[in-house]
A and B are shown apart, each in its own frame.
Chain A
Amino acid sequence: MFYREAGDFSTTYQQDSQTFPIKFDRYRYYIVLAVAFGIIPFIINDYWASAVFVPFLIYAIAAMGLNILTGYCGQVSLGTGGFMAVGAYACYKLMTAFPDVSIVLHVLLSGFITAGVGVLFGLPSLRIKGFYLAVATLAAQFFLVWLFNRVGWFYNYSASGQISAPERTVFSIPVTGPNTEAWAKYMICLVFVVVLAWVARNLTRGALGRQWMAIRDMDIAAEIIGVNPLKAKLTAFAVSSFFVGIAGALFFAVYLGAVEVGEVFGIQKSFLVLFMIIIGGLGSIFGSFAGAAFLVLLPVLLKNVLVGGLGWPTDLAAHLELMIVGGLIITFLIAEPHGLAQLWRVAKEKLRLWPFPH
């Protein structure tokens, strides 16, 4: 009834191949963008920015990155935390070495540096497959975290071993450092998210994306029909690491401001992002957002309900949260292995006929 393609005619090839071919989808997308850019920045406060919106946006970038590698190209990676750390430390070194260059450029450059590191650790993927590769990426995770912890050059020999972001501005509005307004943090993340989501969406539905998916579905068969596995796998690693690196840079510079690598970018972070794409949906850009939103909101919600509502001690709530997250992951895998994105697809199918299913 509300959601249908009837009367929605494509008269040019461009219209036929657009991202959102159905009018309703397109308008929904515009409305979401309008709310995100036009309304939220004016009503956002510190709590909402730091508890919900900024982590959601940053995790959405990281989840998109991992989804490109794992969901689209089928290479499971447990090194996301390590690659986020590369992005964060690259950004820190660039920020302190070239204070006059724009922070936006630094974040992008950190993405490229992470992409390079990602390709390096992606090289074994040509020989190693499946679980062995998943475990091999742990080498990246542990080695990188150790490197940033032990080698003084990376944290400019600061006494605490921490890195902290100096103040940098965009259009003379501070976006990093302690004087940043909530809306400024939100806006810079939002801009990155929108641009990167657009890039990811268009990469994955283009030639490169189809190559990735061919490798994912069966790499030998893909090789026989002419997909170059070297190129497909390494580009997947590069693009994925680029996204993850930007997420790491934003996580450090905009969201946290100061970072201790073992705590923030440990193995737990790798699993968190992996869970986001499992719950959200492997091989779906929308799924990356849905999963990130779910896993950012869930702890906030649980904390409010259990600690605020029922008056439980915080440690008990934290343990219960672990149980709920674990239980949910299993439930999701059993009920809907394709995650929230699949639920959304099913809902759309139903909505097309609703309320007259016959």
Chain B
Amino acid sequence: MPDQLLFAIEVTLNGLMAGVMYALVALGFVLIFKASGIFNYAQGVMALFAALTLVGIQQGQVPFAHLINATFGTEIHYFGWTVPSLLAIALTVVVMVGLAIAVEKLVLKHLVNQEPIILFMATIGLAYFLEGLGDIMWGADIKRMDVGLPQGLNTVIDDTTFGWFGYGFFIDNLDLIATAIAAGLVLALMIFSQYSREGRALRAVADDHQAALSVGISLQFIWILVWSIAGFVALVAGIMWGTKLGVQFSLSLIALKALPVLMLGGFTSIPGAIVGGLIIGVGEKLFEFLVGPLVGGATENWFAYVLALIFLVFRPQGLFGEKIIERV
């Protein structure tokens, strides 16, 4: 096979993997949007916050150390212990559930019946708040995330493809694991929403708030539940991206990458988030590979948005979104 084609295949495969990573973030958006009609801009920052908390707990950092030191003139940074990964993850989940409860009690409860755009802006405010909080709690320096996920070249694939084509494909182990985890997560979420009591309640709320209230479903509980799940998804995304790029501010920007994924897939569809992620991932990698060198590179910054924009002009509700019906 010609080299160029092999390159293109490799780029496509890597694009698929990157797409899965985008889809992981997009998943959190879809969950909240379906259940409460809120477009949660803070999802990316939640991923950053979760990752920061996980690393902080793992390394036994003292929360607000910088603030305490600055106010009282002390010099404390670490408790002096390290927490095993699984326990740290469990503790972080607890923190994220706490966050979900706080968000419901302090923000959402007071904004019931407001227009969607107001709620959207409230989540932008939340994003700022969490960003500041994460930095103050755990410090703004770049941290290394290590929860024992393998990283680097997958030698099996490399050797096999080398045997077949005489050219080894470079596939990152982490991406493979991310794919497996994303598939598991989607499966679990689908089973949860189809077969469990809470899942049915969740779908009912997504369908019609008032009707759900009238049959005795607690909106408050559903919102806490869905924000907790979104927090958990954010944690998973935070672990994946954090392992890949290090835990730092730019992690919160992956939320922006998830937006075109959502537009493409439709805001209300979980499979849409996955398919949209794959299309965007492959599209931007291939575009960068084929057209990028001609126009000066770094097209990944905008390609996803422009693709989504053009796509939306032809299909305003996205690939799998519910048909938009408008009445006066």
Q: Interface of A with B (CB < 8 Å)?
A: 76, 124, 127-132, 134-136, 138-139, 142-143, 145-146, 149-151, 218, 220-221, 224, 267, 271, 274-275, 278, 312-313, 315-316, 319-330, 333-334, 337
Contact A132-B316, Cβ < 8 Å, known A146-B302, A224-B328, A267-B256? yes
- Min CB distance, A158 to chain B, in Å? 15
Q: Which residues of B contact A312 (CB under 8 A)?
A: 70-71
Nearest chain A residue, comparing its CB with the CB of B140: A315
Contact A135-B107, Cβ < 8 Å, known A142-B301, A220-B328, A337-B118? no
Given B118, B297, B302, which contacts A333 in the complex, CB threshold below 8 Å?
B118
Q: Which residues of B contact A323 (CB under 8 A)?
A: 128-129, 132-133, 136
Q: In this assembly, does B131 line the interface, its C-beta being within 8 Å of a C-beta of chain A?
A: yes
- Min CB distance, B147 to chain A, in Å? 26
How many angstroms from the CA of A271 to the CA of B131 in the assembled complex? Answer: 14
Instruction: Pick from A127, A142, A275, A313 the residue with the most CB of B within 10 Å.
Output: A142
Interchain Cβ contacts under 8 Å between A and B, 19 examples: A128-B313, A132-B267, A135-B259, A135-B305, A136-B263, A139-B309, A143-B306, A149-B298, A150-B296, A221-B328, A274-B124, A278-B121, A316-B66, A320-B132, A323-B129, A323-B132, A333-B111, A333-B122, A334-B110
Given A145, A271, A322, which contacts B135 in the complex, CB threshold below 8 Å?
A322
Interface string of B295-328 (1 = CB under 8 A from A): 1111101100110110011001010000010111
Q: Which residues of B contact A134 (CB under 8 A)?
A: 120
* B39:A131 contact, CB within 8 angstroms: yes
How many angstroms from the CA of A327 to the CA of B67 in the assembled complex? Answer: 18
- Min CB distance, B253 to chain A, in Å? 8
* A329:B308 contact, CB within 8 angstroms: no
- Min CB distance, B243 to chain A, in Å? 24
How many angstroms from the CA of A95 to the CA of B327 in the assembled complex? Answer: 50
- Min CB distance, A321 to chain B, in Å? 7
9 cross-chain pairs, A with B, having the tightest CB-CB distances, nearest first: A326-B129, A326-B128, A322-B132, A329-B125, A323-B132, A139-B305, A150-B296, A142-B302, A143-B302
Contact A150-B117, Cβ < 8 Å, known A320-B136, A330-B125? no
Nearest chain B residue, comparing its CB with the CB of A277: B121
Contact A321-B262, Cβ < 8 Å, known A143-B305, A218-B328, A316-B67? no
Q: In this assembly, does B30 line the interface, its C-beta being within 8 Å of a C-beta of chain A?
A: no
Q: Which residues of B contact A76 (CB under 8 A)?
A: 117, 120
Tally A-B pairs: CB < 8 A: 138
- Min CB distance, A323 to chain B, in Å? 3
Q: Which residues of A contact B131 (CB under 8 A)?
A: 322, 326
Contact A139-B128, Cβ < 8 Å, known A146-B301, A323-B133, A329-B122? no
Q: Which residues of A contact B299 (CB under 8 A)?
A: 146
* A129:B316 contact, CB within 8 angstroms: yes
Chain B contacts with A in 102-132, Cβ cutoff 8 A: 106-107, 110-111, 114, 116-118, 120-122, 124-132
* B125:A333 contact, CB within 8 angstroms: yes
Q: Which residues of A contact B114 (CB under 8 A)?
A: 333, 337
Q: Which residues of B contact A320 (CB under 8 A)?
A: 132, 136
- Min CB distance, A76 to chain B, in Å? 6
* A330:B295 contact, CB within 8 angstroms: no
- Min CB distance, B233 to chain A, in Å? 19
Nearest chain A residue, comparing its CB with the CB of B33: A131
| Further pairs besides A139-B302, A220-B326, A271-B124: 16, Cβ < 8 Å | A127-B312, A127-B313, A132-B263, A134-B120, A136-B308, A138-B260, A146-B298, A274-B121, A274-B124, A312-B70, A313-B66, A319-B135, A319-B140, A321-B132, A325-B125, A326-B132
How many angstroms from the CA of A306 to the CA of B111 in the assembled complex? Answer: 31
How many angstroms from the CA of A145 to the CA of B124 in the assembled complex? Answer: 22
How many angstroms from the CA of A337 to the CA of B122 in the assembled complex? Answer: 10
- Min CB distance, B199 to chain A, in Å? 25
Contact A326-B126, Cβ < 8 Å, known A130-B116, A274-B121, A316-B67? yes
* B302:A327 contact, CB within 8 angstroms: no
* A313:B70 contact, CB within 8 angstroms: yes
- Min CB distance, B95 to chain A, in Å? 17
Q: Which residues of B contact A128 (CB under 8 A)?
A: 312-313, 316
Q: Which residues of A contact B313 (CB under 8 A)?
A: 124, 127-128
Q: Which residues of B contact A327 (CB under 8 A)?
A: 125, 129
How many angstroms from the CA of A328 to the CA of B267 in the assembled complex? Answer: 28
How many angstroms from the CA of A33 to the CA of B129 in the assembled complex? Answer: 37
How many angstroms from the CA of A201 to the CA of B306 in the assembled complex? Answer: 34
Q: Which residues of B contact A136 (CB under 8 A)?
A: 263, 305, 308-309, 312
How many angstroms from the CA of A218 to the CA of B66 in the assembled complex? Answer: 50
* A329:B116 contact, CB within 8 angstroms: no
* A329:B128 contact, CB within 8 angstroms: yes
Q: Which residues of A contact B256 (CB under 8 A)?
A: 138, 267
Nearest chain A residue, comparing its CB with the CB of B136: A319
How many angstroms from the CA of A136 to the CA of B67 in the assembled complex? Answer: 39
How many angstroms from the CA of A326 to the CA of B125 in the assembled complex? Answer: 4
- Min CB distance, B297 to chain A, in Å? 7
Q: Which residues of A contact B318 (CB under 8 A)?
A: 132
Given A139, A271, A329, A337, which contacts B306 in the complex, CB threshold below 8 Å?
A139
How many angstroms from the CA of A17 to the CA of B192 in the assembled complex? Answer: 61
